Structure formats: C-alpha cells, structure tokens
Structure 1
Amino acid sequence: MPLWNTVRSRSVFFAKLSFKRSKLATNRFNSTSTAALLLQKNLALRNHALYNYENDTLRCTVLDSKGNMTTPSMEIKRDELISTHGLLPRDLRKIEKSRKNDLVPSLLVRENSILISLLTIRALVKCDAVILFDSMGISLESRAHTNFLTDLKARLRNQEGNGITKDPLPYEFRALESIFISALSNLGAEMKVHLTVTRGILQDLEYGITRDKLRFLLVQNKKLSIFHKKAALMGEMIDDLLQQDDELCEMYLTSKKAGKIRDKDDHAEIEMLLETYYSHVDEIVQTVRNMMTNVKTTEEIINIILDAHRNQLMLLGLRFSIGLLALGASIYVASLYGMNLENFLEEGNIGFPLITIACAFLMALIFAHSIRQLHRIQKMTLMGSQRSQLK
C-alpha cells in the first residue's frame, strides 16, 4: 500500500510538471506571436506611414486661402485627390513612396496646382489652398514642423495687410517661399553640424594621427558626400526650372484662375524668387565642397606622412641588414681562424690582434660601402630622372 501511494504521488507530480511546462511553452509561443504581430504592424506603419494601401488614402494637412488649418492629418482618397486637383496617377508616386532620406527633389507644374517634394516637405500648392503630405519621420509636434507651419500660416495671411505689411506675391508663390525657407533652414542647420564635427576631427588630427580619428574622418567624409549630393540636387532642380520659361509662366496659378494670359517672358517674380534661393543653395554647396576639399587635402597629407614614416622604417631595416651583413663577414673570417687547423699564426704573439683588427676593418669597410650605396639609391630616386634628362 505505501508503494502504491508513492507511485501515485510521483505520477501526479510528473503530470503537474508536464502541465506547467506545456503552459509555459504556450505562453512563450503566444508572447512570441504577439511580438511578431506587433513588429509586423510597426514595420507596416513605418513603410506605409503616408500612404494607406488598405483604404487607398493619403494622410495630409490642408490650409485654406486664409492660412487657417483644417483637420490635421486627415485622410484623403487617392482617386479624389487626382480628380479634384487635376493630377496624374504617376504624379503621386513619389509622394506615396516617400522616405525620410529622399535625396532627389522634384517640382511638377500642373494645370491648376504645383506638386513639390523638397527634402522632408511634400506639398500640393494651389491658388487658394495648400495640402501638406505628412512625411515619414516628421512628427506633427516636432520643432521644425511647428516652425514651418507657423511661418506658412503667417505668409499666407500676409495678403490681408495694408501698405508695407502686405505681401505683393500671389498665394502660391508665398507658399513656395515658405517651403523653400524651411528647406534651406533645415539644410543650413544640418550643414553647420557637419562642418562643426569635421573641423573638430581635422583639428584633432593636427595633434596626432590615430586609427580611431582616421575612421571618424572616413565616416564624416561619407556624410559630407551625401549632404553635398542632397544640396547639389536641390540646386540642379532650381536651375533646371529657371531654364524653362513655359514652366515658370505656368506657375502663376492665380493669374490662370483669373483668366489672365501671360507672355512667355513675363515671369520676373518667380524667376527672382527662385534665383534668390538658388544662390543660397549654391553657397551651401560651395561651402560643403570647400570642406570636402580640406578633408581630401588632409587625407593626402596624412598619406604622405604615413609614406614617409614607412620609408623611414624601411631604411632602418636596411641599415640593420647592412650591419648584420658586415658583422657576418667579419665573423666568417674569424671562424676560419677559429678552426682546429694549423695556420702558423698561433705561434706568434700578433696573431690575435692582427685578425681582430682585420675583421673590424673589414666590417667597417663593408658597412660604409653599403651605406654609401644606399644613399646613392636615395638620391637617384629624387634627382636621377632629372639628371638623365639633362644628360
């Protein structure tokens, strides 16, 4: 009877243990599946933060003709956006596929709207409204986005003033001006950060060249190259737009809505506006290019210094080799007389000093001759080509 109770208690214990293990495995599986679902959802939201593929809508913010904001981050259907504002389906492709680090800017002029994608700003500008597409990675509460919205509202409302406070530019140009100002402000702030970090690395390299400093310089040089490409593409976009007179005339949306027909060369306002910002972008490009030139010059100087140190180490190794050669020659002579052979020198008293002096003289002669030949080779590498041309 006690044996039966013991067996029964053990079976109950193992049953409870297996139940706990199965329950623990189930909980782990549920937690893993939940984490996988959350990760998949976050990736979907990250990849499609602007364009909702399920509902075929885009998230955007609309400002009216008075600069007042309607419902922020509202959903607008893609088909409605295309039909209402006279767009083509391919025009929204860049907006739908927008990413945080989109380097290539674009400005498309349509019948009654202007679609612009500039750095982190993507907007549809009309003669009486501005539609801002909520770009990925830009929070509505971020400082840059808040400053941009504040400046955009102020510029759109500036038409209501009188006298000096009234902005003579039409609605669409004021919106474009605010977009360019925000983009250039962000571009200038990013440039200052890159220049400050690069100058710090270059100053540190003046006091010592280490592996970590060179690695930091390489990483910063790559960042400078990416930033230079971003600014250069922005300047190329503005420059290409300035070369197209018909596109500049089509950008007068207010005049087209009023029925005013403009001449092909009648686009002084928008041309002056774009030239102003092109000069600012070109200044940023030249500043970054000069810094990249300084980095390249520093890298060349570092390579020259490292080559010189490498050559010094090679010369030091050659001198040691020459010394060992001379010492080996003297040891060879001494070893011949150190054999147990009769050489008629051990009978006299001058044999040992004579052999010692002869070996030392032979070692010095070989060493001096080899060093002289090494110096001749060094001079030939520097001046030999010129002397051969003169001869």
Structure 2
Amino acid sequence: MALTLTSPHFRFQPFLTRTNYLFFSDLTEPQFHDSLTLLRRRPISVTSPPALKPVKCSRSTEEKQWNDAETEAVASDSDESNGQAPSKTSSIESPRIATTSSGDSLSLGIREPVYEVVEVKSDGTVSTRKINRRQLLKSSGLRPRDVRSVDPSLFLTNSMPSLLVREYAILLNLGSLRAIAMQDCVLIFDYNRKGGQAFLESLLPRLNPKSNNGGPSMPFEIEVVEAALLSRIQRLERKLMDLEPRVQALLEALPNRITGDILEQLRISKQTLVELGSRAGALRQMLLDLLEDPDEIRRICIMGRNCTINKGNHNVECSVPLDKQVAEEEEEEIEMLLENYLQRCESCHGQAERLLDSAREMEDSIAVSLSSRRLEVSRVELLLQVGTFCVAVGALVAGIFGMNLKSYLEERVFAFWFTTSGIIIGGIVVFFIMYNYLRARKIF
C-alpha cells in the first residue's frame, strides 16, 4: 500500500526527505512500521538508501542535468550580485548554448579578397605583391566603397572611366587600366592587360631622373595621372590611325563593286568605330566633369600638404605660405594638362564620328543601290508573269480543241490556221492590254 502526504502515519515528517519519501512509497504497511522503528533507534539524519533506483525519478537524466545547470547559473548570478566570486560550477555552460555560439562564429567568418598588384614606387622600383582588402584600405586611407571603382572583379559593372580624388590617394579607372596612386607609390591592378602594360611603358621613363633634363619634376601622383591619360589617349589614337586607311579604301571600292566580303569588312569597321567613339566620348566626358569641378583639382594639389579648402569661397588655405603658392601653380599646370588631353580626346572622338558617318552614308547608298536592283528584278519578273499569263490563255484554247469531242471544225481545212492565228493575235492583244494597265497604275 503506497502512502501519500495525507496519511495519518506521517507524524514523522521531520525525518522524511524527498528521497526518503520516494523510498517509503514503495513499501507495504508492515515494512513501513519496521522502518519507522529503525529510524527511532538511529540518529535523525537520514541518508538516501543505496537501493534507490533512478528510474523512479519523475525527471529524466538529461532534464535533470539541464535544470541543475540552470540552477547553478542562477546561483552564480546571485553570488555575483552579492559581491561574491563565482564558483567553479558556475562556469559550466549548456552544450546547446556552446553549439549555437560556435555556429554563429562560423557564420560570421568573411573571406577577404586578395589582389595581385604591381607596385611602382616614386624612384622607379617595380615589384609584384599580393595584398588583401584590409591592408589596402589601411595603407591608402580609403574606405571600402572607394575600392569598388578599381576592383578588377567588378569589371562589367564599373567600366565607365573615372578619376576619384581622396585625401591620401587617387583612384584611376580608365577601362583596362585600374590603379591607386599615392604620394610615394602606385598600385596597378590587372597589370597583364594592354592598358596596364601601356601605362607602365609610359610611367617608367618619367620616373628616370635623366629624362627630366635637370628641369623641375611634378609630384608623383600628378605624373601618374598624366601617364595614365597619355597611355589611354595614345591607344585610342593608334587604333584610329590603323582603322582610318581601311575605312577610306572600303568607301572608295564600294560604289563600283559590291560583294559579300566588302560588305562584311564594312560592318566590322563600323562596329569598331562605334566602340572607339564611345570610349573616346566617355573619356572626354570624364575630363569635362573634372575641369568643371575645380575643387577636385585643388584636392590633387593639396595632397600631402597641410592645407584645406575653404567651404565658403573654395580657396586653398595652408599653414605655410609657400605651400599655398606651390599649390596654386600646380593647379594651373593641372588645368592646362587636362585641357591638352581634352583637346586630343575631342579630336579623336570627332574623327571617329566622321568616319562613322561616312560609313553610315555609304551603307545607306548601298541600300539604295540594292533596292534599285531589286526593283529592276521585280519589273522583269512582272513582265515575265504577264507574258506567262497570255501564253496560258492560248494554251487554254488549244486544250479546249484538243478534247476528244467533235466540233465539226476538224472537217474544214482552214479551221487550223484560223484557230492558230486567233490564239497568237489574242495573246498579243491581252499582253499589251495588261502592260498598259500596269503602267497606268504605276506598277510597272
């Protein structure tokens, strides 16, 4: 018989703990009285019997461990709030919490891109190195959004030419040339492409002291900007010079001789001119925007100097008067430099547009010539169709007389010649009638 808390035998409640209650609940009434007799003879402190089975516990082992860990955590929090040091058991954490934290740390891992660049220093030293994004931002003083204009992995999204001036660096994006110019070095991305190789060929001779002939040299970042613009415009001019004679030869040969090969060459030349004109136009627009914003030019001049730009009057203010004078002189030189390259770019763009217009006009004239030829062919076809109709009418009469039916004309000698001459004369008359009708309707 199991005992409950309302049993009258529970007058020894001080001797019963939770563990003892679980033990006594499985005893019968005689066994229970024997156990109480033993308890009267023993001390008051009652220990848990060794025969206690953990299966009888209402909680599972995992739940008990979980609740014990929570209890210890609460106890450690209360000890810390009372100013006591936490115990060793308070450092035990749940496996579930540890698993979650480790998963979060793995999910937050970011793999930074590594760029392989060519570094050209101000003394002309060239070296190849690998640098990640964090090191690049730290060495150049740029922000992550600034690097997007020169990131080679974003070639399709940022293909428009740009020149961005920041406090410690200048970012150059001129198509296949992407570089970051600083006071003492320049980092070139995708140096194996044509734009990067042309830029190196134009920059390295400028850094040679013998090439200056003893004259004053410009700051390194301005040398980099000029070399980039020069290499880009020279490539456009070289491509235009190679394309112009070929287009002129096609324009001279096309009116007299129209073949499939010549038309295909004209199409390829026209496509190349469109691409060349769009590149020159984009570069011209970039130079115009840069010249219309004098603050950008002033930022290039004060780079590396203790100078600022006044927001009110947009003047350069320097702590050293000599720096202000040098910055003003460099501003004039940069404006003249940009104007020079703007004129060359406009000349290249204008010549490409003129050649493209000539090719389009020749294409239109070819289309008109082909249309006139198709018109002549259509007239001949129409004339043949009218003649075929007249002959078909005569064949209809001949077919009628060819039937195996008696018409009493076969008994007469002159019937054959009369019928034949009638078919011929009737076909000719019908032909001229149809011809005059089509000319009156301006169809023929």
2:114 corresponds to = 56
User: Once the 2 structures are TM-superposed, how far is the Cα of residue 269 of structure 1 from its aligned partner?
Assistant: 2.8
- What amino acid maps onto 1:366 in structure 2? V
Cα displacement (A) at 1:276: 1.6
Query: 2:26 is matched with which residue?
Result: none
Q: Give the SS at the match of 1:133.
A: strand
> In the alignment, is residue 330 of structure 1 matched against residue 394 of structure 2?
yes
Change (3 A) 1:218 1:228: same
What is the rounded CA distance, in whole Å, between the counterparts of 2:421 and 2:279 in structure 1?
75
In the other structure, the counterpart of 2:280 is 231
Amino acid in structure 2 at the alignment position of 1:95: V
Question: 2:244 matched to which residue of 1?
Answer: 195
More helix per residue: 1
**What is the distance in 2 between the residues matched to 1:120 and 1:220?**
22
Q: Identify the match of residue 307 of structure 1 among 371, 396, 405.
A: 371
Q: Does 1:218 align with 2:282?
A: no
Give 2:216's aligned amino acid: K
Answer yes or no: is the 8 Å Cα contact 2:291–2:338 preserved in 1: yes
Structure 2 spans left out of the alignment, 5+ residues: 1-110, 316-327
1:79 matched to 2:134? The reply is yes
Out of 106, 111, 114, the residue aligned to residue 162 of structure 2 is: 106
Deviation at 1:173, TM superposition (A): 2.5
Structure-1-length-normalised TM-score? 0.69
Q: How far apart are the structure 2 equivalents of 1:155 and 1:277?
A: 24
Aligned 8 A contact 1:100 1:135 in 2: no
SS in 2 for 1:251: helix
2:117/2:188 contact within 8 Å kept: yes
Structure 1 runs not aligned, ≥5 long: 1-52, 381-391
SS in 2 for 1:366: helix
CA displacement at 1:241 relative to structure 2: 1.5
Q: Return the alpha-carbon distance in structure 1 between the equivalents of residues 404 and 366 of structure 2.
A: 59
Query: What is the aligned partner in structure 2 of residue 148 from structure 1?
Result: 202
CA–CA separation in structure 2 for the residues paired with 1:110 and 1:303? 53
Give the CA deviation at 1:314.
2.1
Alpha-carbon distance in structure 2 between the residues aligned to 1:155 and 1:93: 34
CA RMSD of the aligned region, Å? 3.3
Q: 1:89 Cα deviation (Å)?
A: 1.2
**Percentage of identical aligned residues:** 24
Work out which of the two has the higher radius of gyration on C-alpha atoms and give 1 or 2. Answer: 2
Structure 1 position 257 matched with structure 2 position 311: no
- Taking structure 1 as reference, are residues 141 and 170 closer, same or farther at Cα in structure 2, changes over 3 Å only? closer
**Helix, strand or coil: the match of 1:73?**
strand
- Native 8 Å contact 1:326 1:363 kept in 2: yes
Does the 8 A contact of 1:138 with 1:145 survive in 2? Answer: no
How does the TM-score come out when normalised to structure 2? 0.62
- CA deviation string 1:58-90 (max 9, x = no partner): 4221222xx432x41133443233223221112
What are the Cα deviations for residues 211-250 of structure 1, in whole angstroms up to 9, with x where unaligned?
A: 3443343333333322222221111111111222222221
2:105 maps to none
* Counterpart-to-counterpart distance in 1, 2:425 and 2:247: 58
Residue 426 of structure 2, aligned match among 356, 362, 366: 362
Mapped partners of 1:124, 1:76: distance in 2: 13
**Deviation readout 1:137-184 (Å, 9 max, x if unpaired):** 338995x355223333248973xx55xx435x5443333222211111
